[in-house]
Amino acid sequence: MMKTLLLLICALCFGAAAQAAGLECIVPSKPGGAMDLTCKLAQKGLAGLQDTPNAPPSDMHITYLPGGIGAVAWHSLVSRRRTEPNTLVAFSGGSLLNLAQGKFGKVKSSDVRWVAALGADYGMIAVRADSPYKTLRDLVAALKANPEKVLIGVSGTIGSQDWLKMALLSKSAGLDPKALRFVALEGGGEAFTAMHANFVHVVSGDASEATLYAASGNTRVLAVLSEQRLPGVLANVPTAREQGFDVVWPIIRGVWMGPNVPDQDYRRWVAHFDRVLASPQFAQMRATSGLYPFGLTGDALAVYVKKAVDDYGKRAAELGLVR
């Protein structure tokens, strides 16, 4: 409790200093993961509008505010930075899952302003390139033989989306998720770092994160949790379904703002991102980042988020994660 309080105090002090620093995109995790990628994609997309009429500010900087798998960033904006017109925060489907489970406290999706969804991502399962597990079936066989020996790195604790991906995979294989050994980490970047240091043996994460690491040759992606194989760097990676496990996990990625941002400013940012999403150059940026087409802004996004939070709540309840 004291550690969380100190993190919140630091976050609030940091927020006061950052408020005067121009356009900001907050990554609610440590550097290197998909949340980081989301802010960088927003930064690039907005930069692409600089030579057009009514261009957005060109001085976006990215800051990192990890803690509570997004809780520190959420409470920083909602409690003390409610009106900041030029502060965006990255979110993912995992953020919505945390909301559904009450991990941010007694809050609702309508407590903030949803600006734009920039693309879609998918879950994936990865190991080191020198791992003895060559396929998803190899990994499942090892888990069945001795789950205590396989450490699985996930962003977040029990009930996080990375935990749920492995829980659904294990149920599909006839395994009890409670028998698996999870290591809770702060963000996808930290999870991959832990795996490459051999602190964990497997990472349950996102395809966009895997795209950053697979090209370097030190990571083997065993499966993507998509309906079909994904284009690009992961084109040769089979889906879980191809390997006999019926698990699909799509992920939305985007940005939100504080709850009391003036409507004029909020609508201005929605309009900026409408232009970003319509740009062919942004489509290429999104693909390079390992994301796939999915775009919603403003009120339409808020409706989508509310439904997603409700759906995640039902799925979590089925797994006994919420009462």
> Phi and psi of 124, rounded to 5°?
-155, 165
Average pLDDT rounded to a whole number, residues 260-283: 96
Mean pLDDT of the chain: 89
Residue 75 has which token pair? 């409470």
The share of the chain scoring above pLDDT 90, in percent, equals 68
Q: Is 47 exposed, middle or buried (0-12, 13-18, 19+ CB in 10 A)?
A: middle
Average pLDDT rounded to a whole number, residues 208-214: 86
Report pLDDT for 16: 42
The pLDDT tens digits for 218-244 are 999 999 999 999 988 899 999 999 999
Q: Give yes or no for residue 3 having a pLDDT over 70.
A: no
Strand, helix or coil for residue 51: coil
Higher pLDDT, 113 or 54: 113
Q: 35 with 186: CB under 8 angstroms?
A: no
Report pLDDT for 51: 84
Report pLDDT for 156: 77
The pLDDT tens digits for 286-312 are 998 889 999 999 999 999 999 999 988
Q: What is the dihedral of CA 27, 30, 34, 37, to 10 degrees?
A: 60
Range with lowest mean pLDDT among 11-20, 86-95, 187-196 = 11-20
Give bridge partners of residue 92 from the DSSP assignment. 253
- The domains found in the chain, sorted by start residue, are 2-119+251-318 (3.40.190.150), 122-250 (3.40.190.10)
Average pLDDT rounded to a whole number, residues 114-141: 96
Q: Give yes or no for residue 76 having a pLDDT over 50.
A: yes
Report pLDDT for 11: 43
User: How far is Cα 200 from Cα 153, in angstroms, rounded to an integer?
Assistant: 6
User: How far is Cα 199 from Cα 42, in angstroms, rounded to an integer?
Assistant: 32
Report pLDDT for 12: 43
For residue 29, the one-letter residue type is: S
